[in-house]
Chains A and B, each alone.
Chain A
Amino acid sequence: MKIIECDGKLVCTLDGHFDTLQSQKLEDELKAHLKAPQSVVFEMQGVTYVCSAFLRVCISVAKIVGAGQFTLLGVTPPIKRVVKMAGMSELFVCE
C-alpha cells in the first residue's frame, strides 16, 4: 500500500488481498491523509480480493469527499463485479 499526495489529489496504490486487517490499515492511513474537499484515487490493478471492510472504507471515503471526487482506477473484472453486485457503482467512479 502506497499513499501519495499530488496536486491536491490523494493517490493510494493498493495491491493483493484486501482482508479486514489490510482494510483497517488502509482506513488508518487515510485518516492521517484525508481532508475534504479532495480528490481520492485508489489504484486497484494489483488488488485480487476485497472484503466487506474494504467496501465500507470506500463508502466512507465517498461520503467524505463526495461521489464525483472518488475513483477506483484499474479495477479487474472480478472486483468490478463485486462493486456492481454490492450496488455501489453509483457512489463512486469505478473503471
Chain B
Amino acid sequence: MDIKTTEFADQILQRAVQAGAVFAQLGQAETDRIVEAVHKAAFNQRVRLARMAHEETGMGKWQDKVLKNVVASQLVYDDIKDLKTAGVVSEDFASGITEIAQPVGPILAVIPVTNPTSTVIFKVLISLKARNPIIVCPSGKAKRCCAETARICYEAALAAGAPEDCIQWLNDTSREQTQALMSHKGLALILATGGTGLVKTAYSSGTPTLGVGAGNVPVFIDVSADIPFAVSQVFISKLFDYGTICASEQAIVVEAAIAAAVRSEFERQGAYFLSPDEIVKLEAVAFDTVKGAMKPDVVGQPASLIAQKAGIAAPADVKILMAPLAGVGEKYPLSSEILAPILAFYVEPSFTDAVNRCIDLNFYGGIGHTVSLYANNEARITEFSLLMNAGRIVVNTPSSQGGVGGMYNRLSPSFTLGCGTGGKNITTDNVTARHLVNIQRVARRRDNQRLARFDAALYLDESLDSEALEQIFNRNY
C-alpha cells in the first residue's frame, strides 16, 4: 500500500475517531434530537434525491425510489425512535444485570448502486441513533446522489448538535483506498451492502462486518392460495423499482393442478410467457455465463426494453417476462438471481416436488436470504417454512417490500438484510440500530444457589452421579 493511500485512510479515520469520541458524550435525548432532525431533512428531500438517483444510475423508477426514501427515512425512524441506545438501557434486579449501550465506533457504509440514496439515509440514521460516526462509501455509479444525500443528512445533524465529521462521504475512491479504509485500525465496523465480491473484501479486511448475501427468491403459490391476489402481489413486488431489491421474486413454483390458472392470471395481468427459443435469446442479454451472474445492463430495466434488446416479440406493454424452466442450475441461467422483471416458472406434479424445487432454488445462490409463499393452509405454511434456509419467509406478501420490512409486516425496515451463516453473515436479522451498539453488562452479585448452599466437595466424589447430586441439592433442610 503506498503512502498516499495510507495517508488518505488515516485522515478520514482520524476525523471519524474524533467525532466518535465527542459523540459518545451525548445522552439519549440529545441523540434522539439529531436522529429526528436528520430523518426530517432526508424525508423532505425524498423526491429530489430519488430523481437524482434515477438520473445518475439509469436504474429503476424514480417514483419507486421516492418510496424507498420514505421507507429509509420515515419508517426506519418510526422503528428506531424509541429504542434505547445510549447509557443504561435496561436494569433487572432479579438477575442483577444492568445493560449499558456504548457506540461501536466509526462505521464504513458501503452503498450499492441499486438502492443508493435510500441506503445512505438508512445507514446514516441507524448509525447516528447508536452515536456512531459514519463514512459513506458509494458505488462509483451513484456517487453524486449519495454525496448529496450524505450532505443533507450532515447539515441537519450538525444543526441539531451532532459532532463535526459525524458523517463523511467519499467521492472517487480507488479499490486500494477502499481496502485501506476497511482494514484501518480506527474503523470499528463495516456495513457492507453490495455485490458478493465487495462483501467478501469487507469480510477479509479483519474489521467486524455486517454484510449481506445474494438472494434467489422462490415463490411457492400453493393450491390453497387466492390465485388472482397472489399474482397481483408478485406484480407489485417485481415491478417495484423494476426488481432492483435483492428480496424480489426470482421464480414462481406451482403444482400442476393450478398451473393453468396461475399462468392465465399472470398473462391477464401483463406477463408474457417465453418460448424455448425466446428463453435462449433472453439468456444471452440477461446473463453473463463467463461471470456466472446477471448482466448489469438489464438490472432495473422495464420488461419491454429487455424484450426489445433480446429481439423478443412481446407485447409493447409487457410487464414481466416469464421463462418456463425444467431445472435449476448452470444449464438454466434464468434460474439465477436477475434484478429485473424476469421470472422463472416451474410446474411440479405435487406439493412435495414443488417444495423440493424451492429448496433447489433456495440453495442455488440464495441461501439464507428470503423466500415467499402464498397459501391459506397453516400446516403447509409451517412445513414449507421449516424446510427453507431463509432469514425471511414472507407469507401472502410482496417479497421485495416484505423482505425490507415495515410496509406489509412488522419486520424492522432495513436495507441490509442479514442472511445468516448460510449467506456468510453473522445474523439473519434485518440489520438496524440495535446491531450498532456494544452492550456492556454490569453483573451484580447474585449467588448461584446450586453452588452457594451446596457442599461443593461432593462434586469430587465420583460415586455420585447427576441424579444423586440432584437429590442432595433438593433435600429439605
Contacts and interface: CB of A to CB of B under 8 A. Distances in A.
Q: Do A and B bind each other?
A: yes
Interface of A: 75-78, 80-81, 84-85, 89, 95
Main secondary structure of the interface of A (DSSP, over half): helix
Residue among B352, B356, B363, B387 with the highest chain A CB neighbour number at 10 A: B356
A81 B389 CA distance: 9
B355 interface: yes
Contacts of A80: 356, 359-360
Contact of B352 (A77, A84, A89): A77
A65 to B, nearest CB: 21
Contacts of A84: 359-360, 363
A77 B363 contact: no
A95 B387 contact: no
A-B pairs with the 5 shortest C-beta distances?
A77-B355, A84-B363, A77-B387, A80-B356, A80-B359
A66 B399 CA distance: 40
A78 B387 contact: yes
A85 to B, nearest CB: 8
Nearest to A75: B356
A61 B345 CA distance: 33
A78 B359 CA distance: 10
Interface in B379-398: 383, 387, 389
A84 to B, nearest CB: 5
A8 B387 CA distance: 35
Nearest to B351: A77
Residue among A76, A84, A89 with the highest chain B CB neighbour number at 10 A: A84
B363 A95 contact: no
A76 to B, nearest CB: 6
A43 to B, nearest CB: 14
9 contacts: A76-B352, A77-B355, A77-B383, A78-B387, A80-B359, A81-B359, A81-B387, A84-B359, A89-B363
A61 B359 CA distance: 24
Contacts of A85: 389
Contacts of A77: 352, 355-356, 359, 383, 387
Nearest to B358: A77
B390 to A, nearest CB: 12
